[in-house]
Structure 1
Amino acid sequence: MQHCDYYLCLTIYIVTFITGFPANILAFYTLSRKVWRKPAPIDILLLNLIISDLLFLIFLPFKMQEVANNMVWNIDYFLCPLSGFVFYMTIYNSTFFLTAVSVERYLGVAFPIQHSLRRRPIYAVFASIFIWVFSILHLSIVYIVPYYNPSGTVPPSRNVCYEGFTDAQLEILLPVRLELCIVLFCIPLLICSFCYINFIRILSKLPNIGRRRKLRAIGLALGTLLVFVLCFGPYNVSHVVGFITKSSPAWRDKALLLSTFNACLDPIIFYFTSAAVRNTLGAMVRSIWSRCWCPQILWSSKKEPPETEKNSLPKPQGLTNAL
């Protein structure tokens, strides 16, 4: 049985939940309004990525409870395969939706005219449905294997979740994990790398785009690739190691922590990718800033001549715009 470090794992899970849940709720509210008014393919893809992250965060407390009980599962066992299925399925959903966003951005730069003429929101809807169905079918193994007991003599363990497998279960699970690594991680990583490397190459040569905007787009592309590799790479490497050694590596749960942390890094991608998210967040900051400064402005305006009152009121707004 794996032993995830109590303080390390619980701290990362709690920080991910506290920071990721409100950030994804804000992004969901913003993009759902944007898609309802004027749907764009990239907004539809990002909205599905947000829904995937929110599902992940909703089931994250089950992992917290498991760590708090020293990796012992002491609640109803049917929640173990269910939470594991949703937990792992949403991880691989993220790889596919991040890849789909990279393809959308690459096509918009490499073939701007052709892509704008053929760009339809319905294509993004079909792509999203395909990703959800594809991930659900592949990750159904997480739900099935804990109940798989062909011998009928040795029941699967009920005090650990998604661990302590029999030899018969491992014969099915380990090859499937290797297939998940290849199909749901390596192939999307290659596509994402191709799209963003060429996206950066083409964008750096365009003369009609401002330097600041160009650097932000390039930084977003590099940041997405970095998140892709760091968050999902170690966990998928554990699949390969497990297939070779015929057992789950002891550091598998620690590698899973990086995949967990992705849920609070995705909102950063939403911020730089979607203008609607940036505008909503900016409006919230301005609203909070004005509430903090209004009493001070009103107090100072009572002490100043009427002529200076008009000049003093716009200052907080100017400061908020600078932020």
Structure 2
Amino acid sequence: MEDYDYYFSEYDSNYSFTLDPVEDEPEKPHLTGHLHMVSMIIYIIACVLGVPGNAIVIWVTGFKMKKTVNVLWLLHLGVADFVFVVFLPFSIIYLALDFHWPFGVWMCKINSFVTVLNMFGSTLFLTVISLDRYLSTAYPHWSNKFRTLKSACIVCLVVWLSAVALSLPYLYFRDTMVLASGKTVCYQNFHNHSKYLIVMRHNILVWVRFINGFLLPSLTMVVCYSLLAFQVKRTTLQDLSKFSRIIAALIIAFFICWTPLHVFSILELAAHHNSHLHQVLHNGMPFASSLAFINSCLNPILYLFIGKNFKLHLSRSFLTIMKNTLREASQSGTILETIERPETSNEHLCERVAGQPYLPDLERDTQKLSQVCLSSTGSASV
């Protein structure tokens, strides 16, 4: 059977159906050429926007803002996306050269490993943030005791170790192969002479990626935000913190960008028994991959545009806008969560707000807290 694997982007889990030398690919249809051109343009856009955007997120959250749990989540999301977009030029060149890989076997392995690491890392961090949002609101006493910067750092370490463990098979199996035409392709080499074992290993990788990188995180996020919607009173839904709005937007963007690629991955499993799917995968997989890749440049943009006063701040520098927006997002999450907790004492409310810089977007909330603190201690410092 003809090997169609090397047509797909470097993200896809490619493999060979047979042990025969891979023949040169047939002449690609006109539509396929256009789709691949669109994919390459999206790659370039993701790289051009993602590198400076995520670098600024890392700079602001890592060096310019006070370290809080919310800021730490945003920092690690930025790191996951930044590492990925830095490697995007390799994918752009690979696609521009019509799937010829000139960078050697180790860059083939590392590039694929980093791509999958970004997917697992981003997904797991969004899942952790969703759990954190729910637990902070539903169990305030537990949150006040255990939601510390130290515990958040431990969670981040566990997330990264889990993402690395799930991505290691792509580092091990990825390989290069020279075709009869002299073109070198980067593909998934399962090192086995049994077609059954090759297909089985490929199926395992796809299902592990789908379940751990999409299905379970999706269910967790949906359950957390559904429970959160019931937990928060209807009258306060309009006053959700900016941080919660940002995380909701990140999750929606993640689903929109990554769902097509996971759907194509499941369809790929059926290609073992359906040759008609070959052309569908050949045309659609690079485009689905490029849509997933552009997710890495969306986060910094969402941080900015969700801000209520974004248009009023357009005259400021990009760095200043990003810094103010991220600070408002992280601190508004803390303040509004505290307001919504009936179990929290007045003294604790004052402690949570004391020392925080004044934020125009939070004027209504700080006024509420000022009244609470005045009635409790006779003075307020907001």
* Normalised TM-score (structure 2): 0.63
**Aligned partner (choices 238, 250, 253) of residue 264 of structure 2:** 238
1:261 positional shift: 1.0
AA aligned opposite 2:7? Q
The yes-or-no answer on 1:118 pairing with 2:151 is no
AA aligned opposite 1:28? I
**Compared CA separation, residues 219 and 129, structure 1 to 2 (3 A):** closer
Q: What residue ranges of structure 1 are gaps of 5+ in the alignment?
A: 149-154, 289-320
Structure 1 equivalent of residue 83 of structure 2:
55
Residues 130 and 221 of structure 2 are in contact (CA less than 8 Å); yes or no, is this contact kept in structure 1? yes
Residues 173 and 189 of structure 2 are in contact (CA less than 8 Å); yes or no, is this contact kept in structure 1? no
Alpha-carbon distance between aligned partners in 2 of 1:256 and 1:111, rounded to the nearest angstrom: 39
* Normalised TM-score (structure 1): 0.74
Q: What does the per-residue CA deviation read over 1:58-88, in whole Å, with 9 as the maximum and x for residues that have no partner? A: 1100100011101121232321111111112
Structure 1 equivalent of residue 21 of structure 2:
none
Give 1:164-243 correspondences, 5 Å limit.
167=195, 168-207=197-236, 211=238, 213-214=239-240, 219-220=245-246, 222-243=248-269
| Paired-residue identity, % | 22
Structure 2 equivalent of residue 258 of structure 1:
291
The yes-or-no answer on 1:132 pairing with 2:167 is no
**Compared CA separation, residues 268 and 197, structure 1 to 2 (3 A):** farther
**Compared CA separation, residues 274 and 105, structure 1 to 2 (3 A):** farther
Deviates more, 1:83-92 or 1:228-237: 228-237
Give 1:65-144 correspondences, 5 Å limit.
65-144=93-172
Structure 2 equivalent of residue 6 of structure 1:
36
1:245 positional shift: 3.1
Structure 1 equivalent of residue 19 of structure 2:
none
1:232 positional shift: 1.6
AA aligned opposite 2:47? F
**Compared CA separation, residues 62 and 131, structure 1 to 2 (3 A):** same
AA aligned opposite 2:260? P
1:228 positional shift: 2.5
SS of residue matched to 1:246: coil
AA aligned opposite 1:103? L
Alpha-carbon distance between aligned partners in 1 of 2:113 and 2:209, rounded to the nearest angstrom: 13
1:287 positional shift: 7.5
1:286 positional shift: 9.9
Q: What residue ranges of structure 2 are gaps of 5+ in the alignment?
A: 1-5, 9-31, 322-359, 362-382
Residues 246 and 303 of structure 2 are in contact (CA less than 8 Å); yes or no, is this contact kept in structure 1? no
Alpha-carbon distance between aligned partners in 2 of 1:131 and 1:200, rounded to the nearest angstrom: 26
Alpha-carbon distance between aligned partners in 1 of 2:306 and 2:227, rounded to the nearest angstrom: 18
SS of residue matched to 1:161: strand
| Alignment: residue pair count | 278
Alpha-carbon distance between aligned partners in 2 of 1:142 and 1:263, rounded to the nearest angstrom: 20
AA aligned opposite 1:121? L
1:117 positional shift: 2.9
Residues 92 and 135 of structure 1 are in contact (CA less than 8 Å); yes or no, is this contact kept in structure 2? yes
Residues 88 and 139 of structure 1 are in contact (CA less than 8 Å); yes or no, is this contact kept in structure 2? yes
Structure 1 equivalent of residue 184 of structure 2:
159
1:217 positional shift: 6.2
Alpha-carbon distance between aligned partners in 2 of 1:232 and 1:116, rounded to the nearest angstrom: 34
AA aligned opposite 1:228? F
**Compared CA separation, residues 274 and 82, structure 1 to 2 (3 A):** farther
Alpha-carbon distance between aligned partners in 2 of 1:144 and 1:105, rounded to the nearest angstrom: 36
Structure 2 equivalent of residue 41 of structure 1:
69
Higher share in helix: 1
AA aligned opposite 2:58? F
The yes-or-no answer on 1:32 pairing with 2:62 is yes
AA aligned opposite 1:162? Y
Residues 145 and 173 of structure 1 are in contact (CA less than 8 Å); yes or no, is this contact kept in structure 2? no
Alpha-carbon distance between aligned partners in 2 of 1:283 and 1:162, rounded to the nearest angstrom: 46
Alpha-carbon distance between aligned partners in 2 of 1:52 and 1:221, rounded to the nearest angstrom: 16
Alpha-carbon distance between aligned partners in 1 of 2:166 and 2:307, rounded to the nearest angstrom: 30
1:99 positional shift: 1.3
**Compared CA separation, residues 219 and 140, structure 1 to 2 (3 A):** same
1:30 positional shift: 0.8
Residues 220 and 272 of structure 1 are in contact (CA less than 8 Å); yes or no, is this contact kept in structure 2? no
Alpha-carbon distance between aligned partners in 2 of 1:188 and 1:69, rounded to the nearest angstrom: 35
